Amino acid sequence: MIWPMPWQLVSVISIPKGLAMFDYLKGELVAVYPQPARIVVEVAGLAYEVFIAPALVREVADIGREVKIYLVESSGLYGGEITLYGFLNPSQREIFLQLRDNIPATGAKKALEYFNKIVGDIEKFQQAVVQRDVEGLIHTFGFTRKTADKIISALKDKLVQVIPEKTPPTRTSPILEDVIAALVAMGYKPSSARQAVEEVQRRNSHNPVEFLDMLRQALSIIR
């Protein structure tokens, strides 16, 4: 594998503070760096640097192919430039957000460190948290006892709601993603948009719904 050097790339942009939230990037993977783990995705001539869990590097290492990376933006404690963190699907992103937002004294970097430990078997992690299995978190995922206790205390009543059951993809999944992207473009949070769209899908489980109809129904729910 050839790892492009920084001077071989188009300019990597920094996201200015105050810019509207991104839901995902879809473009060409032009670079992968293992230390610290990050990728560069080129979209419409702009290259975005996205930090990822080291465990995901091998899964996105095919330079030149099109990738779709779901994003979380994080700004420094005192403002400044925004850092992008990337995930391979919305469920991974939601787990990261639960780690970051609910565990005391946990910022984006620490949450990514935790996420890197669990990404290989998120369902087993979920089970350990729900069952209050401190020893499982210690021996399976490598957390310290103090951290394991902290994770269970913070997530025992929340994590079960984040990780969906494994279901086969439906024919409407591309429409779902398009509607979510449209809602995010309107200013809604990705998590709220996804919840609204999934509720529309649940209500119409036996009836196919086209894009505009799904968008209208989602707007009536999200508002």
In Å, how far are 5, 12, 32, 67, 84 from 8, measured between CA atoms?
A: 5, 11, 13, 20, 21
List, for residues 13-53, the tens digit of each pLDDT value.
Answer: 444 443 336 788 899 999 998 889 999 999 988 899 999 99
In this prediction, residue 29 carries a pLDDT of 93
Is domain 8-88 annotated with CATH 3.40.50.720? no
Residue 58: pLDDT band by 50, 70, 90 thresholds?
A: confident
User: What does pLDDT average to over the chain?
Assistant: 80
List, for residues 114-146, the tens digit of each pLDDT value.
Answer: 999 999 888 899 999 999 999 999 999 999 999
Which CATH class for the 91-161 domain? mainly alpha
Q: Helix or strand or coil: residue 99?
A: helix
- Crossing angle for the helix pair 173-185 and 211-222, to the nearest 10 degrees: 50
Residue 103: pLDDT band by 50, 70, 90 thresholds?
A: very high
183 with 218: CB under 8 angstroms? Answer: yes
Please state, in angstroms and rounded to a whole number, the distance separating the CA atoms of residues 89 and 147.
26
Please state, in angstroms and rounded to a whole number, the distance separating the CA atoms of residues 9 and 155.
40
CATH classification for the domain delimited by 173-222, as one of 1.10.8, 1.10.3470, 1.10.1740, 1.20.5: 1.10.8
- Where do the domains of the chain lie? 8-88, 91-161, 173-222
